[in-house]
Amino acid sequence: MTSGNLAFAEAMRQINPDVVAAYPITPSTEIPVRFAEYVANGEVDTEYVAVESEHSAISACVGASVSGARVMTASSANGVALMHEIFPIAAAFRAPIVFGLVNRSLGAPINIHCDHSDSMPERDSGWVQIYCEDAQEVYDSVLLATRLAEHTDVLTPVFVCQDGFITSHCYEPVEFLGDEAVQKFVGTREMHYPLLDVDNPVSYGSFVMSEYYYEIKRNQIEGMNNVPRVYDELADELATLTGRTYPKLEQYRCDDAEFVIVVMSSATGVVKDVVDDLRRRDVKAGCLRVRMFRPFPTADLCSALRGKRGVAVLDRSASIGGTAPLASEVKSALYDLDERPKIQEYIFGLGGRDFFPKDAEAVFERMQNDDYERRARFIGLLESCETTEGGK
């Protein structure tokens, strides 16, 4: 039995990265703290860099990564926000950092509990984003992310996200691989153009005018475009080793479903239970979990939702003044279908608000009753805060 945070730290121990630079913040604190114990006890060879801020932590990670080191770190919430300046730089440098992002609400007001308002602002920073449902998936995803980030066709940093306090702190059974099996799976990093190769000097962080900037961005896009293919190959390899499969998009009883809830992370279990209950009542319900948010699995999603009568997209974050992130991606992905299903956007769970089976059941009931609105609906408010369009 272990938690998502400790499962992440155990994977780090087994991988034995060259450098970890971190500045702990709730609820990701246990990851660097436990890993620091491994360093102090001599269980790893890692250079642990204790810095004065999250901005310094990610800056140190970038410097170590482009120098040829295998690098990992973790953070949450306002710490992630403080790192924002450096995230696009890490991606542009093609620095394959593996980052444990333990999702927490982004203040103000100050709140230490889960929503996805810290990771969603980084969706265009050029990082791969993987969202985990449970602690077992966190552990396996760290191994997978290390290979994915360092693959020569990808060379892109990866966020491994888990829900703060829900996944990060709750204990559940986790099956660990042996140290040798992990080392064999992740292998050693093959560095291209390291900063410290003095015989073949390179430059990072140069000032670039318009003559070349555009091409550099295009190169990044190609790396991200290669992620789905490489991910599928590595996920198959990991499945052979563990017997556990992690598709980019998990379909639960979707094949013949008429009504589908699209959701991410730990809330998926609640939806699956409701789907099972509704199936016993002859309601053709299904659940579609988006595991990989960046790059977004557009083709897989279109295939899964084609022909459905209704789709409800549940976002654990809001885009104030716009469409919530997951709903925006789903609507965009389905736009080119000849016959699009009706879609309802929902926002839920902000600041750690509980999500209950009755909430998911109410969503399915609205779809069955053909009850849709153009604006977002809110799940689990203490009192009615619904407003008309225009905010009146």
pLDDT digits (tens, 9 = 90+) for 105-129: 998 999 999 999 999 999 999 999 9
Percent of the chain with pLDDT over 90: 96
The DSSP 8-state label assigned to residue 390 in this structure reads T
Mean of pLDDT over the chain = 96
Label residue 199 by pLDDT band (50, 70, 90): very high
Cβ proximity of 177 and 14 under 8 Å: yes
Q: What is the pLDDT, as a whole number, of residue 192? A: 87
What number of helices (H) and strands (E) belong to the chain? 13, 13
Position 391 pLDDT exceeds 50: no
pLDDT digits (tens, 9 = 90+) for 63-87: 999 999 999 999 999 999 999 999 9
Tell me the mean pLDDT in the region 84-93.
98
Cβ proximity of 357 and 269 under 8 Å: no
| Token code pair at residue 323 | 């469409």
Label residue 216 by pLDDT band (50, 70, 90): very high
Q: What is the pLDDT, as a whole number, of residue 384? A: 60
pLDDT digits (tens, 9 = 90+) for 99-110: 999 999 998 999
Q: What is the pLDDT, as a whole number, of residue 308? A: 98
Label residue 218 by pLDDT band (50, 70, 90): very high
At a CB cut-off of 8 Å and minimum separation 6, what does 337 contact? 302, 306
Query: What distance in Å separates the CA atoms of residue 47 and residue 45, rounded to the nearest whole number?
Result: 7
Label residue 388 by pLDDT band (50, 70, 90): very low
Label residue 383 by pLDDT band (50, 70, 90): confident
Q: Tell if the pTM clears 0.85, that is, is over it.
A: yes
Instruction: Name the β-bridge partners of 22.
Output: 50
How many Cα atoms occupy the beta-carbon half-sphere of 97 within 13 Å?
Answer: 34
- Please give the biggest Cα pair distance in the chain: 70
Strands (E), the chain: 19-22, 47-50, 71-75, 98-103, 128-131, 158-163, 249-252, 259-263, 285-290, 292-294, 310-315, 342-347, 377-378
Query: What distance in Å separates the CA atoms of residue 156 and residue 174, rounded to the nearest whole number?
Result: 28
Residue given tokens 């799976």 in the structure block: 185
Strands (E), 94-168: 98-103, 128-131, 158-163
Position 328 pLDDT exceeds 90: yes
Residue given tokens 């602002």 in the structure block: 121
Q: What is the pLDDT, as a whole number, of residue 385? A: 60
> In what side-by-side order are the strands of the sheet with 47-50?
47-50, 19-22, 71-75, 98-103, 158-163, 128-131, 292-294
Position 247 pLDDT exceeds 70: yes
Label residue 386 by pLDDT band (50, 70, 90): low
Q: What is the pLDDT, as a whole number, of residue 242? A: 98
Closest by CA position to 132, among listed 82, 182, 172: 172
Three-state SS at 251 = strand
Strands (E), 202-320: 249-252, 259-263, 285-290, 292-294, 310-315
Burial 168-198 (b: 16+ CB within 10 A, else e): bbbeeebeebeeeebeebbeebebeeebeee
Tell me the mean pLDDT in the region 235-248.
98
Percent of the chain with pLDDT over 70: 98
Instruction: Name the β-bridge partners of 263.
Output: 289
Query: What distance in Å separates the CA atoms of residue 68 and residue 113, rounded to the nearest whole number?
Result: 36
Structural domains of the chain in order of their starting residue, each with its CATH number: 4-242 (3.40.50.970), 249-378 (3.40.50.920)
Tell me the mean pLDDT in the region 305-317.
98
Query: Exposed (0-12), middle (13-18) or buried (19+): which is 388, by Cβ within 10 Å?
Result: exposed
Query: What distance in Å separates the CA atoms of residue 30 and residue 151, rounded to the nearest whole number?
Result: 28
DSSP letters, 3-45, are -HHHHHHHHHHHH--SEEEE---TTSTHHHHHHHHHHHTTS--
**C-alpha triplet 203, 209, 210: angle, nearest 5°:** 130
